[in-house]
Amino acid sequence: MAKKLPKIVKEIRNNPPPPINYAYQKNISYSQMSIFRGCPHRWKLQYKDKIKRFTSSIHTVFGTAMHESMQYYLDYAYEKSFAAADRDIDLKEDFQSRYISEYQVQYKKNNDSHFSDAVEMREFFEDGVAILEWFKKKRSRYFSKKGTYLVGCEIPIVVAPNKMLNNVLYMGYLDVVTYCETTDTFKIIDIKTSTSGWNDYSKKDENKQFQLLLYKQYFSEQYNIPLDKIEIEFFILKRKVLDPDDEKLMSPYQAYRVQQFTPPSGKIKLSRAKNAINDFINECFNSNGKIKEADYPKSPSKWNCNFCPYGEDKELCGAKQHFS
């Protein structure tokens, strides 16, 4: 028999935020802020000028399918039991169908044109199956039902970060949120996919950390939960079991497919994340919520331009040529 849900979990499930009214409200997201902080000109091309470019890749297809399979498995396990999930869900099949259908969606968006080949697709598929098989065997290290409940997967957050510009709303979806009744604490888990995990450089990347810091802040505001009752964690799924710092194959004892990383999230760190989003809003939006007519400077660098979809278009920017 399913366990009775704690009142607070029911309240959260039954009270999603009201949807954004795009007639007078604007939504911003972590990825918008992250693009702006990398290069304001790129942000302007994408969000102000609305110049669309295809940005998917086999990495994003893989990431989407992995998220969906993991979330489906967790939803099922917390609703019924882990034994039932293991018995009823063929994770390989589930992942395969999500992987193929996501590829087809992106293929259509790319004007019916391929952006991967059979060899690469097979490699990513086999990596995904290896992750899921490993996770299924070791799942009890990471998830348990003892005193713990799944609040949900893809929990929506809609909050006005800047009370003076309250038509600009931060919108995000929390991958997985659990609630531990014994300690009365929540855990927000963000699933990432990665080639071989995060090294020290990635872990110290403040831009990456801001995503979970903002989720913690806004989950707290949206549901009136004290900050010290919210934990956060990046749950990083590794396609290859290499040591992220020196790229050597790890021993079978170290070869974990999952890397957990909890960024510091005390008051100072949270203030830095909130300041970053407020600076972004103040620089880009008017009091009526419209995007400002302003100078959005280019910020060329090898890192920024190599991953920028406008990098080769000389009319829009073309800065990539200086870094190839």
Does position 47 bind ligand SF4 by CB under 6 A? no
* CB 54, min distance to ligand SF4, A: 15
Beta-bridge mates of residue 157: 172
**DSSP label of 301:** -
Task: Find where tokens 């309250």 sit.
Answer: 166
Q: Which of 39, 91, 171, 273 binds ligand SF4 (CB under 6 A)?
A: 39
Measured between alpha carbons, how far is 77 from 87 in angstroms, rounded to an integer?
10
Tell me the residue number closest to ligand SF4, measured at CB.
Answer: 308
Residue 160 tokens read as 């006005």
Which has the closest alpha carbon to 74: 248, 191, 168?
Answer: 191
Q: Which of 42, 98, 238, 239 binds ligand SF4 (CB under 6 A)?
A: 42
* CB 300, min distance to ligand SF4, A: 4
Measured between alpha carbons, how far is 281 from 112 in angstroms, rounded to an integer?
36
Considering only the stretches 79-87, 97-105, 278-286, 308-316, report the one whose residues sit in contact with ligand SF4 under the rule CB under 6 A: 308-316
Residue 79 tokens read as 């609703």
Which has the closest alpha carbon to 176: 160, 161, 195, 192?
Answer: 192
Tell me whether residue 173 or residue 307 sits nearer to ligand SF4 (CB atom): 307
| Residue 171, H or E segment | strand 168-180
Measured between alpha carbons, how far is 84 from 86 in angstroms, rounded to an integer?
5
* CB 37, min distance to ligand SF4, A: 11
By rule CB under 6 A, what count of residues binds ligand SF4?
Answer: 14
Instruction: Provide the 3-class DSSP secondary structure of residue 145.
Output: coil
Tell me whether residue 91 or residue 319 sits nearer to ligand SF4 (CB atom): 319
3-state secondary structure 211-240: HHHHHHHHHHHHHCCCHHHEEEEEEEEECC
* CB 50, min distance to ligand SF4, A: 15
Considering only the stretches 74-82, 179-187, 230-238, 300-308, report the one whose residues sit in contact with ligand SF4 under the rule CB under 6 A: 300-308
Q: Taking CA 16 as the corner, what is the angle to CA 13 and CA 18, rounded to the nearest 5 degrees?
A: 165
Considering only the stretches 130-138, 166-174, 231-239, 304-312, report the one whose residues sit in contact with ligand SF4 under the rule CB under 6 A: 304-312
Considering only the stretches 104-112, 226-234, 278-286, 299-307, report the one whose residues sit in contact with ligand SF4 under the rule CB under 6 A: 299-307
* CB 172, min distance to ligand SF4, A: 23
Q: Taking CA 61 as the corner, what is the angle to CA 302 and CA 64, rounded to the nearest 5 degrees?
A: 110
247 to 286: interface string for ligand SF4, x by CB under 6 A: ----------------------------------------
Give the chain's end-to-end CA distance (angstroms, integer).
60
Considering only the stretches 152-160, 168-176, 191-199, 303-311, report the one whose residues sit in contact with ligand SF4 under the rule CB under 6 A: 303-311
Interacting positions 65-124 with ligand SF4 (CB under 6 A): none
Footprint on this chain of ligand SF4 (rule: CB under 6 A): 39, 41-42, 298-300, 304-305, 308, 310-311, 317, 319-320
